[in-house]
Structure 1
Amino acid sequence: MILREARGDDYRSLVTLEQKVVDAERPYNTSLKKKDAYYYDIEKLISDRDSRLVVGEVSGDIVATGYVQIRHSKPALDHDNHGYLGFMYVAEEYRGLGLNRVILQDLVNWGQQRGVTDFYLDVYAENNSAVRAYEKFGFRGSLLEMKLNLGS
């Protein structure tokens, strides 16, 4: 896998992969829109100096993605900024090969070079394989978001 920063000409491929992320997460969240569910401002992630969006390529095809974005932390925390990780995706046929770990390490290294010491990400509690992968990297559960849906 060749790991590189995402470019503007990757936009269409990244939008397609974003929909694969949304589709993969539908079983964990029945409130996701059936159409036009978008998570990321991909253009901003590519151009923002406080973000790093990377892609993993195999034979010219993007098969993995991830980003880190430096964000302001809540005033009660002992760190002013933190790295928020997202768009962590590996194509199904490439899972289990360590690509996610390579991307995570690249993103954490980039954040550390900018003085970031704390990193956060969101993962559905029932997505056991993703939770295990992040725990294997060193993440631990922190805040649990809970939901009450009173709709039909």
Structure 2
Amino acid sequence: MTIRTATLKDIEELLIFEQGIIDAERPMDITLKREKTYYYDLPYMINEPSIELLVAEIQGELVSCGYARIVKARECFQYERFSYLGFMFTKNEYRGKGINKKIMESLYDWTRSQGVHEVRLEVYPNNPAAIKAYEKAGMKECLVTMRVDLREKM
């Protein structure tokens, strides 16, 4: 397995990965559009120096991806910047093999190389497999996001 920085040549496969994430998250998030939608501007992410988009490749096949984006923190935090992880995806047949953990460890290394030491991500609380994978990579629960649709409260 090779972990490498994504290139513009990877976009076609990354678009498929993105739809896989959206399809998996729709049942967990009633606010997502039901028609085809997109989360990411992939060409921007590949070319932006404050973002590291990685892919895992096995025998020429892309099997997983994830990114780290350096973000300015709010003044109330002890750190000035943090690394936000997202676009964490692994093809079904490759899950449970530690690939996501290796991508995360590579993103941690990149984050350190940027002089940043705080890493965060968001995960749906009703996605125990993802939570377990992130915990294996050293993550701990920090905050729960809550919402209300005021149209339903009338």
| Paired-residue identity, % | 37
CA distance in 2, matches of 1:59, 1:113: 28
- Of 32-41 and 47-56, deviating more is 32-41
Q: List runs of 5+ in structure 1 lacking aligned partners.
A: none
State the 1:143 CA deviation: 1.4
Q: Deviations over 1:40-84 (max 9, x none)?
A: 121111001111001111222211000001110111101110000
CA distance in 2, matches of 1:10, 1:132: 28
8 Å CA contact 2:101, 2:136 repeated in 1: no
State the 1:141 CA deviation: 1.0
Q: List runs of 5+ in structure 2 lacking aligned partners.
A: none
CA distance in 1, matches of 2:58, 2:77: 40
State the 1:149 CA deviation: 2.8
State the 1:36 CA deviation: 2.8
CA distance in 2, matches of 1:118, 1:110: 12
Which residue number in structure 1 is paired with residue 102 of structure 2?
102
Which residue number in structure 1 is paired with residue 134 of structure 2?
134
Q: Deviations over 1:79-102 (max 9, x none)?
A: 110000000000000000000000
Letter in 2 for 1:135: E
Which residue number in structure 1 is paired with residue 124 of structure 2?
124
State the 1:28 CA deviation: 0.5
CA distance in 2, matches of 1:96, 1:11: 24
Using the size of structure 1 for normalisation, the TM-score is: 0.95
CA distance in 1, matches of 2:72, 2:98: 30
Using the size of structure 2 for normalisation, the TM-score is: 0.94
Which residue number in structure 2 is paired with residue 22 of structure 1?
22
CA distance in 1, matches of 2:35, 2:136: 34
Which residue number in structure 2 is paired with residue 77 of structure 1?
77
Which residue number in structure 2 is paired with residue 92 of structure 1?
92
CA distance in 2, matches of 1:122, 1:144: 9
8 Å CA contact 2:55, 2:65 repeated in 1: yes
